[in-house]
Structure formats: structure tokens, C-alpha cells
């Protein structure tokens, strides 16, 4: 199994140097070189960078179809306007109040939109934008209604009146500080959990993440910068009315996000710059904006899905390669056949016994589980086999909380987990893989290994954004655990490769590595051998034997009976939802019911073992 050479370039080596350079160029140089009109344009770019980056966070990183950024923007602007009307002109207060107002709008609309499918948030947030003029009209006494709110001027900063230059510096600093905070967030384990969630809510749950709370967090966080942007906008314009917060602006912001690169931090700036220097310049653009942006979205969607940020990354990687500085190149040629050479490195996994009693579950008229008793012990590999539709996957789903049994009990160690949701079961020490590997394509092998530890309680969002010591501590621990799991599997040589480009066999192994990194008591593997060639099977069995030797309780559902008989100490056979046999390979291979209903003539050949070295 060798790796192809067309791997995606490594992300930019984000460091402090890049944001600082941008800060210097954007804030200081224009002060000396540009007139007030151009500086005003730059403030507008800063404002829309905030709005678009919030959308990047929720849509690009979190996968939430949050179309209501304009409503959060309006909330920030109106709170600022109302405060100014009441004599509160302090900019810091306005920005903070704008952020809180946007977060409240996010919480309320999120509570309504995030309960159901992803589309329900899109619909709720879309209507949120349509509701803006309605709400403003209804609250005419405070908001000025359709005529708008004027006289928002003379802001102060820490009690001192700020002139245009002071306002310019403050506005751009707010945008830059937010970009740095957002960068800290998306590069942290929070960012990894958002991307895992975007890839698959089921995967997120299986890694111990509560999906509703996670979706709410990314959506509300994405709202917050739009509120700050609204506050700055209100002071820049001195006047706000519902006309400024219409659906066209919503579409324009969405297009700016996609064109800049939704899945990026600095792409928001590129998108915002295009928006301000292009469409918002032209009066009369409103009329055609939907058509123009529709075409834009199609072109970007077809030609370069990562937007301008992706183009920039490719260019940057090319420059680094020319300079001979790309580690990616070194990894191109690292064969994955190194898997077998990993050392268990003293990794210990405290296994837990898993036991089900009388587990039953029906789907319509089909009895998928019929009073199933099942036991798997620590430090052993237990296989579940049986014909298609026997109930094997349903058993794994029931143990891991994805399917609720109608009757029966499930114990992990001494804890009863029946009735718990998947993320709670994961937190009690059960890791699982899926029939089709679920590997977020844009994550590196290292990030995927580290994501196994997401169930471990980490620092809060604010501590992460501010990179407090607690965030560093957990980052180091995640890194060590990920590294150990990669060494365990012999995958350190490709640690910085992007997972999406890896062959199926390596992705399957990576799923097992992710499960191992979680150091769970129980590892459930759903058809891990499907589609693997001989080399892949050998690597997989070595990895499983190492996990077993490290102490884990390994349970495998598998159709490849040859593989199972070579590997497992205990084999359970299911048929039509019932457990028809359980015992050693020898016992199962000589069971008349198993032979007649499943194994047939091959039963006699299955006991000639060819177990690889662990």
C-alpha cells in the first residue's frame, strides 16, 4: 500500500508573523499614505471582515447553514444606536453590547433552528433576515422604525472623544484582534471538534461530543463578530435604517465568504475587500446583485472550491517548495507499509468488560435484536459474525448508544449505559469505527489521531481563544496522546499528510488509530477489513493485536471469516437477531447450527491459523 503523490499542500505555517505583518500594513501604512475616503473604505473592509469571518466560522468550519449574519449585524448596529441616543457613546461598551446582542439573537434563532436538521437552521436564519424590518417597525419608539435612527456620532474611547484617526485604528484593531482570536480557536481542539461535527454528527457523538451544544456553540460564536461589526458600522455611518440590512446584503456576505474561502481565517478579509471595493461601490448594483453573485458562486463552486484563500495556499506552498522548505514533500514518499513497524511504546489501555443481557430491538416487523446476551472481556478480541441482516451492526449501535434497545441491559465495566446518548457512552470509555470510514477530508493524520481525545474535558472557549495556560496544557496532552497512537500504528511518517488523499486502507487504519488514541476501555470495529488487500489486512490485524495486548476490549463485526478466525479469541454468531453460538473458534466451527446456517463447508478449513506477529 503506497501513497499517491498528489497530496494537498500543507496549510500555511500560520504564526504570529503573518497577522502582525497584516496589522502593520493595514493599520499603519494607510494612515500615512491614504486619504480619509480610502481609510473609510478600509474601515468598511474591517467591518465586513468581521461579518464574513463569523460566517466562515459557523458555515466553513462548523458546517452550519447560517444565513442570518445580517440580522446579527443589525442587532449590533441598533443596540449601539439606541445606546448613543441615551448618551452612552463609549466605543468599547458599544462593541461589547453589540456582541452580546448578536449572541442573544444567535441563541434564540439557534434554539429554534438547530433542533431539527441542518436545513432548519438555514430556513430559520433566512427568515430572521426577512424579519428585520418587521421587528424594527414594531419597535418604532426605540428604533426609529422605517425612517431610521440618526445622530449616532461622537464616540469616545475609554472616556476620551476619538477623532476619525482614532476611530480608524480602533475599528481595524477590533477586526484584527478578532481574526487572531478566531485563529486560536480554529487551530485548537475546539476547531477540530467543529470540523468533525461538519463532517458527521454521528462521528462527533462517537467521539464523546454533545452535538446540539456543539452546533449551538459554533453558531453563536459566528454571530458575535457580526455584532461588533454592527457597532462600528453605526458609528461610521452615523445613521442606520432597515434598508441597510436587507436580503441582498445577506447574499453578498454569503458570496464574499465563499469567494474568499469559507474554510479559512484570512479568506474573510479577501472576501470583504472584494465586497467593499466591488459591489458596494456601485450604486444601482442592488438590482443585479443576486444575478452577479449567483454567477460568482457557481464559478467559484466549480473552479476553486476553497476560494481565494485556497489559491493563496497553493501559491504559498509552491513558493515554499521552490525555496526547498516544504515538509510536505518529504512526506510524499513515506510509504504506509511502515505500519507494522510501530512499537506499542508501553501504551496501556485499561480494558473494560462489556456485557449485554436480553437486548431486544425491532424495526417495524423486523426483529434486529432478539434477547441478545453478549460478553466481551478486556485484553481479548471478540468477533461477531453472521449473514447479512443478522443484527451485528445493530448490536454495535445499541452498545454505542446510536440505537435505543426496547428491552435489556448494557454494561460497560460496572456502569449501566443502556439509555445513554452516544456521546455519553463514548465518555464512559467506548470507541467505535463505522462501516464506511468517516474521516474529515481536510484534517491531517495527526489531527485525526488527536481527535480521538475530544471526549476528554478541555479548556473553555474563551480560555482557548486567549490561549491561556490551561489551553496549552491540554494541547500538549492531546499532542502526546496522538503521537503515541501514531507511533503505535507506525503512522508517524505521514502525520502531516491530509487525510482526504489517503487510500482506503490507510483511512481504515486511521479510524482504528483514532479509537486507540481515545484510550477507551472498549473498541468497537464495524467491518474494518472491508475493501482491504492482503497487506492492508495484515496491517489491520497487527494493529488490533497490539490494541488487545495493550489491554483493550476489542470487538469486531466482520464478514471476512478467514480474517476473524485467524484473529479472534472468541467468536459470536448471530442470525435473524439471535445469538446462536458463542465460544472459541474451535467451538464455533464445530457447532452444527453455525455450520448449517452460515459457515457451510468452509468451517473445516477455518481453523488453520495464520496469525501475524503482534
Ligand X SMILES: Nc1ncnc2c1ncn2[C@@H]1O[C@H](COP(=O)(O)OP(=O)(O)OP(=O)(O)O)[C@@H](O)[C@H]1O
Q: How far is CA 255 from CA 70, 118, 298, 308, 597, in A?
A: 13, 19, 10, 12, 58
192 part of the interface to ligand X, by CB under 6 A: no
Shortest reach from residue 393's CB to ligand X, in Å? 3
Q: How far is the CB of 180 from ligand X (least distance, A)?
A: 45
Q: How far apart are CA 117 and CA 472, in angstroms?
A: 35
Q: Tell me the CA end-to-end span of the chain in Å, nearest whole number.
A: 19
Residues with Cβ < 8 Å from 353, sequence gap 6 or more? 375, 376, 377, 378, 411, 412, 413, 553
Least distance in Å: CB of 369 to ligand X? 8
Find the binder of ligand X among 257, 328, 394, 444 (CB under 6 A). Answer: 394
DSSP category for residue 406: S
492 within 8 A of 445, measured Cβ to Cβ: no
Residue 283 binding ligand X, by CB under 6 A:
no
Residue 267 interacts with ligand X (CB under 6 A): yes or no:
no
Using rule CB under 6 A, residue 594 touches ligand X: no
DSSP 488: H
Per-residue contact flags (x/-) with ligand X for residues 5 to 34, judged by CB under 6 A: ------------------------------
Q: Residue 14 or residue 363: which is nearer to ligand X going by CB?
A: 363
386 contributes a contact to ligand X by CB under 6 A: yes
Cα–Cα distance, 522 to 516 (Å, whole number): 9
DSSP letters spanning 537-574: HHHHHHHHHHHHHTT-EEEEE-S-HHHHHHH-SEEEEE
| Apex 362 CA angle, 429 and 368, nearest 5 | 70
Give the nearest distance from C-beta 363 to ligand X in angstroms: 3
Distances (CA, A) of 589 to 347, 545, 573, 593, 609: 34, 22, 10, 10, 13
Question: 1, 74, 381, 390: which one contacts ligand X (CB under 6 A)?
Answer: 390
By C-alpha distance, which of 47, 54, 48 is closest to 68? 54
Among 368, 376, 547, 564, binds ligand X (CB under 6 A): 368
The distance of closest approach from Cβ of residue 589 to ligand X in the complex, given in angstroms and rounded to an integer, is 20
Q: Give the Cα separation of 578 and 368 in Å (integer).
A: 8
Residues 6 or more apart in contact with residue 27 via CB below 8 angstroms = 169, 172, 173, 176
* Residue 393 within binding range of ligand X, rule CB under 6 A: yes
Q: Does 401 bind ligand X (CB under 6 A)?
A: no
Which residue among 238, 389, 531, 612 contacts ligand X (CB under 6 A)?
Answer: 389
Residue 487 or 526: the one with the smaller Cβ distance to ligand X is 526
List the helix and strand counts (H, then E) for the chain: 26, 12
Q: One symbol per residue from 338 to 367: x for binding ligand X (CB under 6 A), - otherwise; what is it?
A: -------------------------x--x-
Number of residues lying near ligand X (CB under 6 A)? 11
- The minimum distance between CB 435 and ligand X, in angstroms, equals 7
Chosen residue from 388, 457, 469, 610 binding ligand X by CB under 6 A: 388
Query: Which of 392, 507, 508, 514 is in the footprint of ligand X by CB under 6 A?
Result: 392
- Examine residue 556 and tell whether it contacts ligand X (CB under 6 A): no
Q: Does 379 bind ligand X (CB under 6 A)?
A: no
Rounded Cα gap, residues 138 and 90, in angstroms: 27
Q: How far is the CB of 430 from ligand X (least distance, A)?
A: 17
Task: For the beta carbon of residue 103, count every other beta carbon within 10 angstroms.
Answer: 19
In the bound state with ligand X, the residue whose beta carbon lies nearer, of 368 and 568, is: 368
Q: Output 382 or 492, the one with its CB closest to ligand X.
A: 382
Supply the minimum distance, in Å, between the C-beta of residue 529 and ligand X: 13
Shortest Å, Cβ 441 to ligand X: 24
Binding site for ligand X (CB under 6 A): 363, 366, 368, 386, 388-394
Amino acid at each position: 500500500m503506497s501513497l499517491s503523490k498528489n497530496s494537498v499542500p500543507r496549510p500555511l505555517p500560520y504564526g504570529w508573523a503573518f497577522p502582525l505583518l497584516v496589522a502593520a500594513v493595514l493599520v499603519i501604512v494607510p494612515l500615512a499614505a491614504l486619504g480619509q475616503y480610502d481609510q473609510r473604505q478600509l474601515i468598511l473592509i474591517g467591518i465586513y471582515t468581521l461579518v464574513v469571518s463569523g460566517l466562515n466560522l459557523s458555515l466553513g468550519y462548523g458546517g452550519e447553514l447560517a444565513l442570518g449574519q445580517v440580522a446579527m449585524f443589525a442587532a449590533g448596529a441598533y443596540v449601539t444606536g439606541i445606546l448613543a441616543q441615551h448618551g452612552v457613546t463609549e466605543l468599547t461598551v458599544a462593541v461589547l453590547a453589540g456582541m452580546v446582542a448578536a449572541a442573544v439573537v444567535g441563541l434564540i434563532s439557534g434554539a429554534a433552528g438547530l433542533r431539527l436538521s441542518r436545513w432548519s437552521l438555514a430556513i430559520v436564519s433566512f427568515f430572521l433576515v426577512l424579519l428585520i424590518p418587521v421587528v424594527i417597525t414594531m419597535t418604532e419608539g426605540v428604533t426609529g422604525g422605517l425612517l431610521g435612527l440618526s445622530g449616532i456620532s461622537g464616540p469616545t474611547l475609554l472616556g476620551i472623544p476619538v477623532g476619525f484617526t482614532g476611530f480608524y485604528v480602533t475599528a481595524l484593531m477590533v477586526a484584527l484582534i478578532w481574526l487572531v482570536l478566531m485563529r486560536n480557536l480554529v487551530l485548537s481542539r475546539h476547531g477540530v471538534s467543529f470540523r468533525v461535527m461538519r463532517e458527521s454528527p454521528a462521528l462527533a457523538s462517537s467521539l464523546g461530543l454533545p452535538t446540539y451544544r456543539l452546533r449551538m456553540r459554533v453558531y453563536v460564536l459566528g454571530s458575535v463578530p457580526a455584532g461588533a461589526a454592527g457597532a462600528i458600522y453605526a458609528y461610521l455611518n452615523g445613521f442606520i435604517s432597515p434598508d441597510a440590512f436587507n436580503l441582498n446584503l445577506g447574499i453578498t456576505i454569503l458570496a464574499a465568504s465563499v469567494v474568499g474561502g469559507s474554510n479559512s481565517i484570512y479568506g474573510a478579509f479577501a472576501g470583504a475587500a472584494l465586497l467593499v471595493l466591488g459591489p458596494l461601490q456601485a450604486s444601482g448594483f442592488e438590482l443585479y446583485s443576486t444575478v452577479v453573485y449567483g454567477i460568482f458562486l457557481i464559478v467559484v463552486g466549480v473552479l476553486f472550491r476553497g476560494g481565494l484563500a485556497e489559491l493563496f495556499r497553493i501559491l504559498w506552498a509552491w513558493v515554499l517548495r521552490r525555496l526547498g522548505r516544504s515538509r510536505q514533500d518529504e512526506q510524499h514518499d513515506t510509504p504506509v507499509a511502515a505500519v507494522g513497524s510501530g512499537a506499542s511504546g508501553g501504551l496501556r489501555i485499561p480494558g473494560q468488560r462489556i456485557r449485554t443481557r436480553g437486548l431486544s430491538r425491532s424495526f417495524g416487523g423486523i426483529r434486529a435484536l432478539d434477547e441478545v446476551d453478549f460478553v466481551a472481556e478486556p485484553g481479548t478480541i471478540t468477533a461477531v459474525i453472521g449473514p447479512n441482516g443478522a443484527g451485528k451492526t445493530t448490536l454495535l449501535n445499541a452498545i454505542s448508544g446510536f440505537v435505543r434497545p426496547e428491552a435489556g441491559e448494557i454494561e460497560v465495566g460496572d456502569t449501566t449505559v443502556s439509555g445513554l446518548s452516544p456521546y455519553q457512552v463514548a465518555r464512559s470509555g467506548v470507541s467505535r469505527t463505522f462501516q464506511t470510514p468517516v474521516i474529515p477530508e481536510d484534517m491531517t493524520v495527526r489531527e485525526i489521531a488527536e481527535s480521538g481525545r475530544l471526549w476528554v474535558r478541555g479548556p473553555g472557549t474563551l480560555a482557548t481563544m486567549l490561549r491561556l495556560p490551561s489551553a496549552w496544557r491540554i494541547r500538549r496532552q492531546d499532542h502526546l496522546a496522538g503521537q503515541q497512537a501514531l507511533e503505535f500504528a507506525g503512522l508517524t511518517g505521514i502525520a502531516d499528510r491530509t487525510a482526504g488523499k489517503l487510500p482506503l486502507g490507510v483511512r481504515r487504519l486511521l479510524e482504528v488509530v483514532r479509537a486507540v488514541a481515545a484510550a477507551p476501555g472498549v473498541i468497537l470495529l464495524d467491518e474494518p477489513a472491508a475493501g482491504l488487500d492482503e497487506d492492508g489486512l495484515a496491517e489491520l490485524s497487527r494493529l488490533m493485536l497490539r490494541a488487545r495486548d495493550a489491554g483493550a476490549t476489542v470487538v469486531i463485526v466482520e464478514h471476512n471469516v478467514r480474517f476473524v478466525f485467524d484473529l479472534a479469541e472468541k467468536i459470536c454468531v448471530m442470525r435473524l437477531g439471535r445469538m446462536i453460538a458463542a465460544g472459541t473458534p474451535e467451538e464455533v466451527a464445530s457447532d452444527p447450527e453455525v455450520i448449517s446456517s452460515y459457515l457451510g463447508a468452509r468451517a473445516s478449513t477455518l481453523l488453520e491459523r495464520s496469525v501475524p506477529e503482534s
